[in-house]
Amino acid sequence: MGLFSRKKVDEFVSPANGKLIHLDKVSDPVFSQKLMGDGYAVTPSDNEIVAPIGGIIGTVFPTKHALMITSAHGLEVMLHLGIDTVELKGAPFEVFVKENDKVKAGQKLATMDLEQVKAAKKDTAVMTIITNSDAVKEMGSFEEQDINAGGKVLDINVN
C-alpha cells in the first residue's frame, strides 16, 4: 500500500424508519439465504422510503417494488420494497426518482402504503442488497435495533 492509497468505503443508511434486522431473518429464502447478495433489512414503521446510499439510480422496476442504485465506488445496490410485492403491480408504491437521477443517502425515493401491503397479506420488509458482491472487500457489521430513516447502518469496504 502506497503512502497515498485510500480505502474505498461506501456508507449505508437505513431506507426506512423501523426495526433494522439481519437479512437471514426475512421470510423469503432468496433474500435470507443471500442468493441475490448480502445486505440488511428494515421492518418499516411508516410509508417513507429513502436512499440507503448515494449514487445513480439504475433500473426502476415497472411494478415500482424495487430499484437499483450504483454507488460512487461501483457497488450495485438493490432496494427491494416488501416480499412478493411484485404481485401488487405497483399499486402500493409511489416512486419519486427515475433512471439516471443522482441521489444522496437519506434522500426520499418512494412511498410504500404499508396498510395496502399488509391487506394483501405481504411482508413489508425493505431489503438493501449488494448484488455485485465480488466488488465487496469487507462487509461491515451492525446490531439489530430500532432505527430512523437515514440512520447509519454500516460501512462497506469496496475493492
> Does 3 map to a domain?
no
> Does 71 map to a domain?
yes
Lay out the sheet containing 152-158: strands in order across: 8-13, 152-158, 136-139
pLDDT tens string 70-102: 999 999 999 999 999 999 999 999 999 999 999
Number of domains in the chain: 1
> Does 93 map to a domain?
yes
| CA 40 – CA 82 distance, rounded (Å) | 13
What residues act catalytically?
Answer: 80
Confidence of residue 6 (pLDDT cuts 50, 70, 90): confident
> Which residue range forms the structural domain that includes residue 61?
8-158
> Does 89 map to a domain?
yes
Instruction: Give the CATH number, domain containing residue 19.
Output: 2.70.70.10
> Does 1 map to a domain?
no
> Does 81 map to a domain?
yes
Q: What is the pTM of this model?
A: 0.95
| CA 59 – CA 53 distance, rounded (Å) | 15
